[in-house]
C-alpha cells in the first residue's frame, strides 16, 4: 500500500486496521460504499433539486484517514492533478473533487491489495498518465 501516492505508513496501518478483510470484498465499488465515499443523490419527496453529495453512510474513520492523502496527491502528484483539473473543467466543486480523489485512492488501494500487484499509474489513470 505504501507504493500508492499519498499513502504513508500511518495511513496504510489505519486502512489495514479498518479494512482487515479488504481482499475478500467483492469489488472496489463495495469498498467505496463501505467507506462512505460514494455519491448520494438528494431525494426527499418532490424536492430533488439539490446537488449530490458524499453518502457518509460508512466508516468515518476511513474518510478521515483518506482526507489528507487526497489533498496531498491533488497538489503534488501530476496524475491526480490532471484528474482534479478534468473534474474542475466539468464544473465540479472542490468538495466533490476531493471526494472523487478519496474514492479513486480507495479503488487503487483495493486493486493493489486484491491483485497483489504494484501500483501502476498507466492502468489506473489511463494511458495519458505519466509516472512521477
Domain of 18, in residue numbers: 9-124
How many domains does the structure of the chain reveal? Answer: 1
CA trace torsion 84, 87, 91, 96 (10° rounding): -80
Residue 3, domain member (yes or no)? no
CA atoms of 5 and 132, how far apart (whole Å): 10
pLDDT in tens, 65-92: 999 999 999 999 988 999 999 999 998 8
Beta strands 53-54 and 39-40: pairing type? antiparallel
Which residues, given as ranges, of the chain have pLDDT below 50?
A: 131-132
What pLDDT score does 4 carry? 87
Residue 1, domain member (yes or no)? no
What pLDDT score does 132 carry? 47
Amino acid at each position: 500500500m505504501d507504493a500508492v501516492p499519498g499513502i504513508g505508513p500511518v495511513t496504510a496501518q489505519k486502512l489495514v486496521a479498518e479494512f482487515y478483510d479488504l481482499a475478500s470484498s467483492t469489488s472496489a465499488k463495495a469498498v467505496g460504499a463501505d467507506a462512505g465515499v460514494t455519491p448520494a443523490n438528494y431525494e426527499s419527496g418532490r424536492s430533488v433539486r439539490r446537488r449530490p453529495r458524499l453518502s457518509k453512510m460508512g466508516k468515518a474513520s476511513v474518510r478521515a484517514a483518506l482526507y489528507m492523502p487526497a489533498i496531498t496527491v491533488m497538489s503534488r502528484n501530476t496524475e491526480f492533478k490532471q484528474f482534479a483539473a478534468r473534474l474542475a473543467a466539468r464544473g465540479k466543486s472542490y468538495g466533490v473533487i476531493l471526494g472523487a480523489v478519496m474514492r479513486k485512492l480507495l479503488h487503487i488501494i483495493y486493486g493493489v491489495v486484491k491483485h497483489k500487484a504494484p501500483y501502476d499509474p498507466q492502468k489506473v489513470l489511463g494511458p495519458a498518465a505519466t509516472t512521477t
